[in-house]
Amino acid sequence: MTQKIKTSSSRLLSLDVLRGITIAGMILVNNPGSWGKIYAPLAHAQWNGLTPTDLVFPFFMFIMGVSMYLSYNKFDFNLSTKTFTKLLRRSVLLFLIGLALGWFGLFCRGLNGLRTEEIPIFEKIVQAASNFENLRILGVLQRLALVSFFGSMLVLIFKPKRTPWLIAILLVFYWLIMAITGSYLEDSHNIITIIDKAVLGASHMYTDHLPDGSSVLFDPEGLFSTIPSIAHVLLGVWAGKLISETKDLGEKIQKLFIFGTIILFLGFLIDYGFPINKKIWSTSFVLATCGLASLLLGLLIWIIDIKHKKNWSVFFESFGVNPMFIFVMAGILSVLMSNIGFTYNNDWMSTKTFIYNQWLSPVFGEYLGSLVFALCFVTINWFIGHILYKKKIYIKL
């Protein structure tokens, strides 16, 4: 006999925890002590394949879709002028913050590069600040802005019940175009690169460094690969619909497990025709990662919302309630630590390099020291996020 377990609140703590896990994971993998000394699970797959690091960003986008459903469901998915204006304002703001973060990194690196030049400080600042011709247009926050806007518009226009059709159309269309153009390799002939070059310009794109020492213009958050990313968010929307159809937590878990298992195996099957690949956000990557995210969400609901084993989750809640603010703050802090430094033993060292080379690496070794630096960096950001969490300060972007 199945026991009916109902939640006393419409809000699932497990959603905040999973969101927090992904933000903590994104900060962790983006801030090693040395990029040349990273354990394999903490590095992205070079091309085809999947590592634990490849899961954190898609998991966050999946949760974005779940939250999107829960938010719009409150007013029956009615597309009003007020809703559109609020959505557009938030998406533009998120995109601009992503651009500003990219510019800040470019500015600090430029200013640092002019450190030894015999020119006035004001001229150095102006020169570094005006380097817009090399500003990367796209990025993580920019992709989130685009998928949030277009994903929301599709849901509000077509309503959630048509979401599976929208997902299928987007993923199949993307697969067909990639197959027709033979865009399965990371090179200048990839349709993603061609579109980004034509629309954005080569100087505004990401340069990826290959294992053989060469480099190629290829943006992992490219314009064309945003199409399957929208489908990614819509899969989260459908998961949100499944768990909102009942108040019984046991049924929520069952639905998430069934849904996650189906799309996970579908992703693995499609991998034979369209390999799992984060950089091109392949159809198989979308399905496999959303399947894993659905299964993990179901597991967290069981652990946190049913078994009430939640003491361990406070750490991630602090990240989960202010995710975008903490992510941006971590980006700013990372840039500062990499570009503010001093002369040590007649050599200039950034704060980050000094901590890693002089303190952590001699004690823990190169690889473990690199990981310890990343963990310390995550902890610093957690302290700030935890203060906001305890004071119930929520900064919405």
Cα gap 214→260, rounded to integer Å? 38
> Tokens in use for 199?
């629309």
Question: What pLDDT band is residue 11 in, cutting at 50, 70 and 90?
Answer: low
Identify the residue whose tokens are 């809640």: 317
Residue 20 reports pLDDT greater than 50: yes
Using a cut of 0.85, tell me whether the model's pTM lies above it. Answer: yes
Residue 139 reports pLDDT greater than 90: yes
Sign for the CA dihedral angle at 244, 248, 249, 253 comes to negative
Q: How far is residue 151 CA from its own chain's centroid? A: 16
Residue 1 reports pLDDT greater than 80: no
Other residues' Cβ atoms within 10 Å of the Cβ of residue 219: 25
Cα gap 178→228, rounded to integer Å? 11
Beta bridge partners of 209: 215
pLDDT, one tens digit per residue, over 249-296 is 999 999 999 999 999 999 999 999 999 999 999 999 999 999 999 999
**Residue 350 contacts by C-beta under 8 Å, 6 or more apart in sequence?**
112, 337, 338, 339, 340, 341
Beta strands at 215-217 and 207-209: parallel, antiparallel or unpaired: antiparallel
| Cα–Cα distances in angstroms (integers) from residue 266 to residues 45, 226, 254, 292, in the given order | 21, 21, 18, 12
Average pLDDT across the chain, whole number: 93
pLDDT, one tens digit per residue, over 157-171 is 999 999 999 999 999
* Radius of gyration, alpha carbons of the chain: 22
For residue 10, what is the DSSP state? S
- Would you state the pLDDT for residue 9? 41
